[in-house]
Amino acid sequence: MMNPAGASILAIDQGTTNTKAILVDGAGQVRARASTALSVSYPRPSWVEQDAAAIWQSVVQCAAEVLSTAPETPVALGISNQRESVVLWERATGEALAPCVIWQCQRGNALVETLKQPGVAEDVHRRTGLELDPMFSASKMRWLLDNTPGARQRAAAGELCLGTIDSWLLFKLTGGRVHACDMTNASRTLLLDLEHLDWSDELCAALDVPRAVLPRVVASSVREPWGYTAK
């Protein structure tokens, strides 16, 4: 189905090495494109991270560039993103408290190895469809909570949010009004129960990631908007 004549859509593709944006008109024609490069840091062997604020600024920059050509405000915005990467941020300000731990990072390997007990890997696979591997988000989430000063206490007090890149961008775009993630992103965390399509309380407990800090899981196929931009 086409959009109404003249109605445009802004699409954001937030990737590991760059962020891209395109503006598509009501006839499905691309009217503008923009791209911003991103750097990746390797602070220790097998550790890989990015500046979360730089990721956000790259989205702002690309969006501003393509919107400068738009005759009117787009009717919708869609996001695709690098998966498994994780951001920890302050709920009140939306500011990241640590670098984004991205999908290639293996710092959670020791934790994952401790979980490889008889029956555990099989249970994880049954619930999530995934193998125990530090690429997936859960071990990165656990690491951030354990190694960011005060994070455990602040998370218990409801002051922090934790999530995949789409949830981080959505939170920023809506001015902190929406903390949600796409179901396909959630499915790459090791925490989503595929039968119930929601976070597994058992897996959250096993990996010591409190459910309260996680985003709401939403299917991208829903017709209702997830939220509205703050500006």
3-state secondary structure the chain: CCCCCCCCEEEEEECCCEEEEEEECCCCCEEEEEEEECCCECCCCCCCEECHHHHHHHHHHHHHHHHCCCCCCCCEEEEEECCCCEEEEECCCCCECCCEECCCCCCCHHHHHHCCCCCHHHHHHHHHCCCCCCCCHHHHHHHHHHHCCCHHHHHHCCCEEEEEHHHHHHHHHCCCCCCEEEHHHHCCCCCEECCCCEECHHHHHHHCCCHHHCCEEECCCCCCCCCCCCC
In a domain, 231, yes or no: no
Say whether pLDDT at 223 is over 80.
no
Question: What type of residue is 75?
Answer: V
Say whether pLDDT at 5 is over 90.
no
Q: What is the pLDDT of residues 49-81, one digit of tens each?
A: 999 999 999 999 999 999 998 888 889 999 999
In a domain, 227, yes or no: no
In a domain, 229, yes or no: no
Q: How confident is the model at residue 156 (pLDDT cuts 50, 70, 90)?
A: very high
Distances (CA, A) of 104 to 91, 109, 143, 190: 26, 11, 14, 15
Report, as an integer, the average pLDDT of 95-117.
95
CA 55, 18, 85, 223 dihedral sign is positive
Q: Tokens 């455990």 appear where?
A: 152
pLDDT for position 2 = 45
CATH number at residue 213: 3.30.420.40
- Contact between 107 and 46 (Cβ < 8 Å): yes
Say whether pLDDT at 172 is over 70.
yes
Angle between helices 165-173 and 52-67 (to 10 degrees): 60
Token output for 184: 């396909």
Say whether pLDDT at 3 is over 60.
no
In a domain, 81, yes or no: yes
Other C-beta atoms within 10 Å of 118: how many? Answer: 6
d(CA 19, CA 62): 7
Tell me the backbone φ, ψ of residue 199, rounded to 5 degrees.
-60, 140
Domain span including residue 199: 9-218
d(CA 128, CA 136): 11
In a domain, 199, yes or no: yes
pLDDT for position 118 = 84
Say whether pLDDT at 4 is over 80.
no
In a domain, 60, yes or no: yes
In a domain, 230, yes or no: no
How many domains are there within the chain? 1
In a domain, 3, yes or no: no
